[in-house]
Amino acid sequence: MRYRVMVLRGTQPYKCIIESKSVKTCEAAYTKEMEGSRDVLFERKFLRQKPVHYHLCLCTDSRNKKLRSVGYLRDDLGRLVPVEMEGWTVLRMEPFRVREKISDYFAKKLITFETMVKRIVRLPHASVGFVFNKIVVDDGDTLLIFSLKNAHDAERCYNLLREIIGGKLIFFGRIAKSNRRWVYNRLREKGVNVNYFYKVATKT
């Protein structure tokens, strides 16, 4: 028999972590992945603007007919839906946290939440706010802009930043419409096209 540790997205296979003839090897990999999942601070909750859920499962090939799959998930209507993996039986399955990536505007790359925190705490006198799907960090000299998938993710990220960084910075919440002129002026000073700021969600 062969065994696999798989990540599911919804009810579909997303990623194979390991495949082996040894159940102990796969059980160890499963445990390691779950420990890593618990360390994820900012998890992915949206994909192409739709809610998404991930699960980690330990599977075996289906030659052993005595084994019954535990691979069932509830859909939006509360119905039990089987996990679709032809030829494989799910032995174990748990919710899994996938680390979300955040767009760093000035660095022109995707970063993790942990990297984002490191960038922000380098500005000890900065103020932090959010508007649309953007996190704005400004210390009067350096301006940082981070783009999330949507407004829900931006607020979730902001609240987590405030919880972790605490009183080290000034957190002033959602940037009110009456105060956005300040943001737009700072964007122009840094050579940022203001139209970029009006994009309230990403396509991914």
Tell me the C-alpha to C-alpha distance, in Å, between residue 29 and each of 16, 57, 125, 150, 190.
Answer: 11, 11, 43, 33, 46
Are 74 and 8 within one domain? yes
Reply yes or no on whether the pLDDT at 124 is more than 70.
yes
Q: Name the more confident of 10 and 120.
A: 120
Tell me if 2 sits within 8 A of 64, measured CB to CB. Answer: no
**pLDDT over threshold 60, residue 117:** yes
Q: What is the pTM of this model?
A: 0.85
For 158, the token pair is: 């902001």
Q: Is the pLDDT of residue 21 over 60?
A: yes
Residue 68: its pLDDT value, please?
Answer: 57
| 164 and 118 both lie in a single domain | yes
pLDDT band at residue 151 using 50, 70 and 90 as cut-offs:
very high
38 occurs within a structural domain:
yes
Domain assignment of residue 69, yes or no: yes
Query: How many separate domains does the chain show?
Result: 2
Give the pLDDT of residue 65. 57
Examine residue 174 and state whether it is found in any structural domain, yes or no.
yes
- Alpha helices (H) along 39-150: 113-121
Q: What is the pLDDT of residue 76?
A: 63
pLDDT at 42 over 80: yes
**Are 136 and 73 in the same domain?**
no
Q: Is residue 148 situated within a structural domain?
A: yes
Structure confidence at residue 64 (pLDDT) = 59
User: What average pLDDT does the structure give for the chain?
Assistant: 88
Phi, psi of 88 (to 5 degrees): -130, 145
Three-state DSSP class for 172?
strand
Residue where a domain terminates, one of 95, 115, 131: 95
Residues 91 and 107 reside in one and the same domain: no
pLDDT at 75 over 90: no
> What does the pLDDT average to over 161-170?
90
- 16 and 49 housed in the same domain: yes
143-147 vs 102-104, strand pairing mode: antiparallel
Q: Which helix (H) or strand (E) holds 173?
A: strand 170-174
- What would the mean pLDDT of 77-91 be, rounded to a whole number? 74
pLDDT band at 111; cut points 50, 70, 90:
very high
Domain for residue 204, yes or no?
no
Confirm whether 26 is domain-assigned: yes
What domain range is 64 assigned to? 3-95
- Single out the residue in 95, 120, 139 at which a domain terminates: 95
Does some domain include residue 203? no
Is the sign of the CA dihedral 53, 32, 148, 134 positive or negative?
positive
Q: Are residues 38 and 126 in the same domain?
A: no
Do residue 85 and residue 131 come from a single domain?
no
Q: Which of 76, 95, 114 is the C-terminal boundary of a domain? A: 95
With a cut of 80, say whether residue 66 has pLDDT above it.
Answer: no
- The proportion of the chain whose per-residue pLDDT surpasses 70, expressed as a percent, equals 89
Same domain membership, residue 73 and residue 153 = no
Please tell me the predicted confidence (pLDDT) of residue 85. 74
Per the domain annotation, does 37 fall within a domain? yes
